[in-house]
Amino acid sequence: MSAYELLLYEVDDRVARITFNRPDRMNAFNLKLCAEVMAAIAQADADPQVRVLLLTGAGGKAFSAGYDIKETASGGPRRGEPAWRDRLAKDLKFCYAPWECSKPVIAVIDGFCLAGALEFAQMCDIRYCSEDAKFGVLETRFAAGVVTMVMPWILGPASRELIYTGDTIDAAEALRVGLVTRVYPKEELHAQTLKIAQRMSRVAIECLTWNKRALNRTSEIMGMRSALDYGFEACVQLDGSVAPEFRMFDALRREKGLGEALRWRDAQFRPYE
């Protein structure tokens, strides 16, 4: 029986499946879900019966739409306030959870994977997706910083266009630029990725963990952690500046609701799509 409220946790044949379970909110990451995901990853990491982790979202519409901006609009620190930095630090720590897990972590992306969820998915070892998956650095479009600036380490120069425009790309483009490793028909995604995870779990656990350690260390020797630290500081500075575009977006979501704020944001870009 799962001890979690906002996720499903199950282990079968050496594979742990962690499912974000807020389908009514597109599996958006609120503080409670973030805490539960970190705890579930730690649980699987410590379990000698687990060799591989699968992370996915419930409902078939979204892996996750990113951090729950409805939660940040309704309470807690605001951008520009000293406590906002602490909130962003929690987001960064959350994204490091799959990276710091000693075992392979696979993001199984069915539907939307946006903003903070895309940052989190890129910190997983591998990403597989359904043919209807969509990806985007949407925070750019309402003048929010990228808390976990890992995309250059995954895509290289291709990351610049996605970050500068906030464009959304489909599964085929994600495969082309290297954001995902495989794309499956929607009805086959979970069965096919489970088969890969089970095949992977036949490898000795010592081999899996030492190879992951070596692969991660390669990136860290090249400066990945320092780069992500700088990206975090840039995010803090950007959010502290409170750009006019964000002020308008924030005022609309607080006064008229998130839907009206999103319609205003989308209207700024529609003539140029």
- Catalytic residues, by residue number, are 119, 139
CA distance 103 to 43: 12
What backbone torsions phi and psi does residue 246 show, to the nearest 5 degrees?
A: -70, -40
Dist. CA 150–CA 242, nearest whole Å: 23
Vertex 36 angle, CA 31 and 38, to 5°: 95
Closest CA to 114 of 91, 139, 136: 136
Place of tokens 């009805």: 187
Question: Smallest Cα–Cα separation from 138: which of 265, 4, 7?
Answer: 265
Residue 77 burial by Cβ neighbours in a 10 Å radius (0-12, 13-18, 19+):
middle
Q: By C-alpha distance, which of 228, 192, 24 is closest to 106?
A: 192
Helices (H), 101-223: 116-122, 151-155, 158-165, 171-177, 189-200, 205-221
Q: For the chain, how far is it from start to end, CA to CA, in angstroms?
A: 47
Strand order in the sheet with 105-109: 7-12, 15-20, 52-57, 105-109, 126-130, 182-184
Q: Contact 139/161 with Cβ under 8 angstroms?
A: no
